[in-house]
Chain A
Amino acid sequence: MRSISRALFLLLLANLPSPGAIAAVSGNRNGIDTAVETAPERYFAVTLRTSLTPISDKQAKRDIPDRPVYLIQTKAFGKTVYNLRVGFFATFADAIAYRNGIRAKYPAASVFEIERNEYTVVLRSFPEFKLAVPKLEAKIPEPVVAPPVTPPPTPAPPAVSVGEYSPKALFVILLEESTHPITAVRSPLPESLKNFRLYSTQTLIKDKPHYQLKLGFFEKEPDVFAARRNMMSTYPSAKVIRISLNEQTSSIRTALRAPSAPVVAKPTLPVPTPPVPTPKPSLAAPSVPKAMPGVTAAPATSGDREAFALMEKGRAALASGDNSAAIAALDQLLRLPPNQYSQDAQEYIGLARQRAGDIPTARIEYELYLRLYPVGEGSDRVRQRVAALDAAKKPETEVVLKPVKPRPEVLSTTSGSLSQYYYHGSSKLDTTTLSTTANTLNQATLTQTDQSSLVTNLNLIHRYRSENYDNRLVIRDTFTKNFLTGQQDINRPSSVYYEIKDRKINYSTRFGRQPGSAGGVLSRFDGVTAGYNLTPTWRVNVVGGKPAEIPYDSDLNFYGTSVEMGPFADHWGGSLYAMQQKVDGVVDRNAIGSEIRFFDPVFAVYGLFDYDTEFQTPNITLIQGNWTGSSGTTAHVLYDKRKTPSLTLTNALLGETDTSIKSQLTTKSYEELKQQARDLTSTTDLISAGVSQSLTTRWQTGFSVQSIHTSSTVGTVNQPAQPDTGKVYTYTGNLIGTGLFSPRDVSVISVSHITAQTYDGNSYSLTNRVLWGANWSLDTTLSWYSQQDNSTDTKLRRFAPVLRPSYKWKENITLEAELGEERTTTQSPTTDDKTNRRYWSLGYRWDF
């Protein structure tokens, strides 16, 4: 608790305005060289752990007694993130070296450059760990005429956005174009843009290189235009463009760094000479230098095993002539933080592209190499390669690039997957019946192929966004081609909808087949939903349509409205809804309900209450919650009481051959049908609770208990009554571990005991998922279940082994297979059944 309080205190202090940037000692201003003490410009710390739940610093303080260990909170996605850090390091290399030394104990440790605020505030608690201050020799050429005026700290402008390195963030600001390499920025970036990536690109226009300086990446147009306005004083010709995902991906290799903006804005446009002499800068308050430090490419750090493995893979592929594989591996390596293999990889990828015949890209790769590594043996070699390219170039193949028509500032993406699997299953049933009268055994065997089908799955999402609209077309469809006689082919479009959101007025609408389960809609439906944000915390929705896939010969439709609220007080939210569903013109379901939510990083609760005003009874009462403790402990609880199936008038059709409500109403009254629906609907109560605890970083254990009870039904002439199940209790213990069979596997061992009114059962399962190399994975599952029914003296035994290998053939194509068997033995005083079902599947998945 003290640690948390201390962290909160530190956070409070960390949010205070920054102290003066430079602590200086007044020197002799009479033209004498003076030793000036100045604070280090950068501060580094090693983050040992991050968590969304409070964490303790006690163990770390015991482990690291010779350095300041402290907790500090940051915000991410509106949530508090707890960081456990150890400080302080004046250089990045020192911090990396220290991190490497403690990784055995803290595998998630990583180096962060911390704000000066954090350093100075934490230092108040650990003054003995102040970083060594370098002594700089500063020369004062002449006395200062007037004392300098340090501008008051200007609060940083509100953040326009944060850097978004996602496939969706493809807007950038083109700051500058030049025929010469751009080696310096005109001014430092504003504070609100300091986390964005500044990078350079190069194009060939009429065979002459042109260089661009860009800043990215932005997902939303308003953000990128706001950022451009922020940069217009420095780059008046800056414009917004959209780039390819490939450029975003490659930009890390040409990333540049520029310091954040000082508190004084530096005009870059020509400024008339002031009529009065400008005071000379003083040591106490150095002004912005006239020429900013040249931007430098993000340099290398020490390599790691991943980089080494990729380098080896790239080399091997290059040696074997597999240029595509070499490019893939080297490109992946070059996306890693710069390391000791980066330089060679940059040369090799140029070579691989050259051998692959992609000469223009090879040239760009070589030129990038020469910019990053201009001197040395490697650069001489690369220059020779470039010269060879020039010599081999044929004049007639020159490509003259014409001015490109500016593209509209929109984003259009298509993603998804297509998969096809063939499933085959065959079963064999041996039945042995004891004839008690004749005291003989009758044996029968039935063998059949029960499955032979090709299942095709399509998941397609097309998104088109403009400044004003966000459009989505979603298609999720499963087509099953059955090869067995008597079985029909099945096409099931589970989602086929078009959605449009207005990004300025904050309304959205979606029409087509879509999933339900919110706002009182209990199942998938064909129809329309629309919503409008009245305020950031209040939203109204309307919905209407027909439930999909209705097995009845009746016409169903519904409409409803809901109001969503929240978040309030940071944690609370919920909704109220009302909806009516009609079947053949009469009320099928008339519901009002409410959802309520409480959410914070430690504790989350969700509740749902659905009441049918037509039947005047609750349909669903649901409460679920999760708790996450500070030491690897989690707990969950669920209470779910609901009508089974959900109470509607159409429940009266269960078991009926005439499945038309309209037709039923010719022989029965509406009230009689309602009563019939009640008689065929049971109530299920489920209570479940469990807790999990991390034992070590490699092992976790868990225990849960569940009680479920389903009430009896009255039944009808055509639908027999269902008996009360009584309470069925299940007690389950889990042990989950990694490294059981191989370093990269995860194993789940589960043991359950089930006890009910008429039977007891035991269940055991072992699931192991293992990764082999870069492309293979194998899932193995062994399950065993036994049950003893005391009322009929029946024993059931079931054993099911399953193997599921998977091979990543290409980056976006995976081959998958499954091979399994299920053996079931049922023994009763008069019958002995043995069922053996074997099945397999084979297929592929293409992600695009």
Chain B
Amino acid sequence: MKNPLLGVTMLIMAFTCSGIASAQDLILDDVESAVDQEWAQIRVHFTMPVNYVRHFPQERGQQLEIFLTVVGLDMQNISLREETRRVASTPILPGAKITFSPPLSLNLRRDPSSLSVQFDRVVNYNVRPGEDNRSIVIYLPITHVESKPPGVPKE
């Protein structure tokens, strides 16, 4: 935003247009990606505390399912809905569609929620809970060194 007034104006307009609230809440916050020498990471931030449960497949695939529990959800009058974020592809990392699916609620108890990550291609990864209890981190190895060094004849 080159003109800070533009930001303030948009902020005021957004508030002016706001209306009646519902009980539905958004749980996905920012999704950030960063690249290091050998690893890249996609960090999914949540607006509520979450507890990482498991993920599958373990370390390689195009579709990754991460299961987590939204802490305190059962005790609060909050309903969640499906949300999607898109991570743009880069020369090194594939793009990814990240979809949060609320838990099944056919009964009084809720199954863990699902965070489905659909990469543009098959990748290796590692999944960990974030340092706070409001994020999940997906680590992706970078294979940019897998290019032929200079001087190697063409195959």
Q: How far apart are B62's CB and chain A's nearest CB, in angstroms?
A: 6
Measured between alpha carbons, how far is A491 from B18 in the docked complex, in Å? Answer: 6
**Which residues in A have their C-beta under 8 angstroms from that of B151?**
293, 296
**Which residues in A have their C-beta under 8 angstroms from that of B97?**
814
Q: How far apart are B119's CB and chain A's nearest CB, in angstroms?
A: 10
Q: How far apart are A522's CB and chain B's nearest CB, in angstroms?
A: 9
Measured between alpha carbons, how far is A495 from B143 in the docked complex, in Å? Answer: 37
Q: Is A52 an interface residue (CB 8 A)?
A: yes
Q: Which of B1-23 contact A (CB under 8 A)?
A: 1-2, 4, 7-8, 10-11, 14-15, 17-22
Asked if A249 and B118 make an inter-chain contact with CB atoms under 8 angstroms apart, the answer reads no
Q: Identify which of A49, A76, A620, A624 contacts B36 (C-beta below 8 A).
A: A76
Asked if A81 and B53 make an inter-chain contact with CB atoms under 8 angstroms apart, the answer reads no
| Minimum CB distance partner of B131 in chain A | A599
Q: Is A829 an interface residue (CB 8 A)?
A: no
Asked if A738 and B61 make an inter-chain contact with CB atoms under 8 angstroms apart, the answer reads yes
Measured between alpha carbons, how far is A649 from B32 in the docked complex, in Å? Answer: 38
Asked if B141 and A257 make an inter-chain contact with CB atoms under 8 angstroms apart, the answer reads no
**Which residues in A have their C-beta under 8 angstroms from that of B53?**
634, 636, 690, 692, 702, 704
Asked if A300 and B106 make an inter-chain contact with CB atoms under 8 angstroms apart, the answer reads no
Q: How far apart are B74's CB and chain A's nearest CB, in angstroms?
A: 7
Q: Is A732 an interface residue (CB 8 A)?
A: yes
Q: Is A23 an interface residue (CB 8 A)?
A: no
Contact A492/B21 with A632-B58, A697-B57 known, Cβ cut-off 8 Å? yes
Contact A52/B128 with A517-B47, A738-B61 known, Cβ cut-off 8 Å? yes
Q: Which of B109-155 contact A (CB under 8 A)?
A: 109, 111, 114, 116, 118, 121, 124, 126, 128-129, 131-134, 139, 141-152, 154-155
Which of B1, B22, B118, B143 is packed against the most chain A CB atoms within 10 Å? B1
Q: How far apart are A568's CB and chain B's nearest CB, in angstroms?
A: 13
| Minimum CB distance partner of A419 in chain B | B84
Which of A111, A257, A473 is packed against the most chain B CB atoms within 10 Å? A473
Asked if B21 and A548 make an inter-chain contact with CB atoms under 8 angstroms apart, the answer reads yes
Contact A92/B152 with A636-B53, A765-B104 known, Cβ cut-off 8 Å? yes
Q: Which of A305-319 contact B (CB under 8 A)?
A: 306
Asked if A299 and B148 make an inter-chain contact with CB atoms under 8 angstroms apart, the answer reads yes
Q: Is A337 an interface residue (CB 8 A)?
A: yes
Q: How far apart are B38's CB and chain A's nearest CB, in angstroms?
A: 6
- The proximity string for A residues 828-844 relative to B, scoring 1 for CB distances below 8 Å and 0 otherwise, is 00000000000000000
Q: Identify which of B26, B34, B71 contacts A166 (C-beta below 8 A).
A: B34
Measured between alpha carbons, how far is A727 from B49 in the docked complex, in Å? Answer: 24
Measured between alpha carbons, how far is A597 from B129 in the docked complex, in Å? Answer: 12
**Which residues in A have their C-beta under 8 angstroms from that of B20?**
488, 490-492
**Which residues in A have their C-beta under 8 angstroms from that of B21?**
490, 492, 548-549
Q: How far apart are B125's CB and chain A's nearest CB, in angstroms?
A: 10
Q: Identify which of B8, B24, B121, B152 contacts A492 (C-beta below 8 A).
A: B24
Measured between alpha carbons, how far is A604 from B104 in the docked complex, in Å? Answer: 27
Which stretch from A265-273, A536-544, A661-669, A742-750 is at the chain B interface?
Answer: A742-750
- The proximity string for A residues 338-378 relative to B, scoring 1 for CB distances below 8 Å and 0 otherwise, is 10100000000000000000000000000000000000000
**Which residues in A have their C-beta under 8 angstroms from that of B19?**
489-492
**Which residues in A have their C-beta under 8 angstroms from that of B39?**
76-77, 81
Contact A847/B72 with A496-B11, A628-B128, A769-B116 known, Cβ cut-off 8 Å? no
Measured between alpha carbons, how far is A251 from B90 in the docked complex, in Å? Answer: 11
Asked if B85 and A459 make an inter-chain contact with CB atoms under 8 angstroms apart, the answer reads yes
**Which residues in B have their C-beta under 8 angstroms from that of A745?**
63
Q: Which of A439-483 contact B (CB under 8 A)?
A: 459, 461-462, 464, 471, 473-478, 480
**Which residues in A have their C-beta under 8 angstroms from that of B51?**
624, 626, 636, 638
Asked if A798 and B106 make an inter-chain contact with CB atoms under 8 angstroms apart, the answer reads yes
Q: How far apart are A162's CB and chain B's nearest CB, in angstroms?
A: 5
Asked if A700 and B35 make an inter-chain contact with CB atoms under 8 angstroms apart, the answer reads no
Q: Is A509 an interface residue (CB 8 A)?
A: no
Which stretch from A149-157, A283-291, A639-647 is at the chain B interface?
Answer: A639-647
Q: Is A282 an interface residue (CB 8 A)?
A: no
Q: Which of A808-843 contact B (CB under 8 A)?
A: 812, 814
**Which residues in A have their C-beta under 8 angstroms from that of B41?**
77
Measured between alpha carbons, how far is A728 from B72 in the docked complex, in Å? Answer: 16
* Contact-residue bracket for chain A: 35 or more
Asked if A771 and B62 make an inter-chain contact with CB atoms under 8 angstroms apart, the answer reads yes
Asked if A606 and B106 make an inter-chain contact with CB atoms under 8 angstroms apart, the answer reads no
Measured between alpha carbons, how far is A18 from B148 in the docked complex, in Å? Answer: 24
Q: How far apart are A526's CB and chain B's nearest CB, in angstroms?
A: 8
Asked if B54 and A493 make an inter-chain contact with CB atoms under 8 angstroms apart, the answer reads no
- The proximity string for A residues 480-518 relative to B, scoring 1 for CB distances below 8 Å and 0 otherwise, is 100000001111111111100000000000001101011
Q: Is A325 an interface residue (CB 8 A)?
A: no
Measured between alpha carbons, how far is A755 from B18 in the docked complex, in Å? Answer: 44
**Which residues in B have their C-beta under 8 angstroms from that of A169?**
35
| Minimum CB distance partner of A604 in chain B | B129
Measured between alpha carbons, how far is A601 from B14 in the docked complex, in Å? Answer: 41
**Which residues in B have their C-beta under 8 angstroms from that of A464?**
1-2
Asked if B141 and A110 make an inter-chain contact with CB atoms under 8 angstroms apart, the answer reads yes
Asked if A748 and B90 make an inter-chain contact with CB atoms under 8 angstroms apart, the answer reads no
Q: Identify which of B37, B54, B71, B139 contacts A624 (C-beta below 8 A).
A: B71
Asked if B69 and A638 make an inter-chain contact with CB atoms under 8 angstroms apart, the answer reads yes
**Which residues in B have their C-beta under 8 angstroms from that of A461?**
30
Q: Is A752 an interface residue (CB 8 A)?
A: yes
Q: How far apart are A200's CB and chain B's nearest CB, in angstroms?
A: 15
Q: Which of B62-89 contact A (CB under 8 A)?
A: 62-63, 65, 69, 71-72, 74-77, 84-86, 88
| Minimum CB distance partner of A704 in chain B | B53
**Which residues in A have their C-beta under 8 angstroms from that of B118?**
771, 777
Q: Is A147 an interface residue (CB 8 A)?
A: no
Measured between alpha carbons, how far is A604 from B147 in the docked complex, in Å? Answer: 37
Q: Is A50 an interface residue (CB 8 A)?
A: yes
Q: Identify which of B75, B111, B132, B149 contacts A257 (C-beta below 8 A).
A: B149
Asked if B152 and A91 make an inter-chain contact with CB atoms under 8 angstroms apart, the answer reads yes
Q: Is A660 an interface residue (CB 8 A)?
A: no
Asked if B91 and A252 make an inter-chain contact with CB atoms under 8 angstroms apart, the answer reads yes
Asked if A606 and B11 make an inter-chain contact with CB atoms under 8 angstroms apart, the answer reads no
Asked if B10 and A475 make an inter-chain contact with CB atoms under 8 angstroms apart, the answer reads yes
Asked if B106 and A92 make an inter-chain contact with CB atoms under 8 angstroms apart, the answer reads no
Asked if A744 and B63 make an inter-chain contact with CB atoms under 8 angstroms apart, the answer reads yes
Q: Identify which of A76, A300, A524 contacts B37 (C-beta below 8 A).
A: A76
Q: How far apart are A761's CB and chain B's nearest CB, in angstroms?
A: 6
**Which residues in A have their C-beta under 8 angstroms from that of B139?**
52, 76-77
Contact A761/B54 with A92-B148, A492-B21, A518-B134 known, Cβ cut-off 8 Å? no
Contact A417/B84 with A471-B4, A515-B29, A640-B72 known, Cβ cut-off 8 Å? yes
Q: Identify which of B11, B106, B145 contacts A800 (C-beta below 8 A).
A: B106
Q: Identify which of B7, B29, B74, B107 contacts A763 (C-beta below 8 A).
A: B107
**Which residues in A have their C-beta under 8 angstroms from that of B85?**
417, 459
Q: How far apart are A407's CB and chain B's nearest CB, in angstroms?
A: 12
Q: How far apart are B11's CB and chain A's nearest CB, in angstroms?
A: 6
Asked if A337 and B143 make an inter-chain contact with CB atoms under 8 angstroms apart, the answer reads yes
Asked if A686 and B77 make an inter-chain contact with CB atoms under 8 angstroms apart, the answer reads no
Asked if B147 and A765 make an inter-chain contact with CB atoms under 8 angstroms apart, the answer reads no
Measured between alpha carbons, how far is A478 from B21 in the docked complex, in Å? Answer: 10
**Which residues in A have their C-beta under 8 angstroms from that of B47?**
515, 517, 524
21 A-B pairs within 8 Å (CB atoms) are namely A93-B148, A162-B36, A165-B93, A166-B90, A338-B148, A415-B88, A492-B19, A573-B131, A622-B49, A624-B133, A634-B53, A638-B71, A697-B57, A710-B75, A736-B56, A744-B63, A745-B63, A754-B107, A765-B111, A771-B118, A783-B106
Q: Which residues of B contact A (CB under 8 A)?
A: 1-2, 4, 7-8, 10-11, 14-15, 17-22, 24-26, 29-30, 33-41, 47-49, 51-54, 56-63, 65, 69, 71-72, 74-77, 84-86, 88, 90-93, 97, 104, 106-109, 111, 114, 116, 118, 121, 124, 126, 128-129, 131-134, 139, 141-152, 154-155
List the 4 closest A-B pairs by CB distance, nearest first.
A549-B21, A515-B47, A491-B19, A76-B39
Given contacts A167-B33, A337-B144, A645-B77, 4 further A-B contacts (CB under 8 A): A76-B36, A248-B90, A462-B1, A493-B14
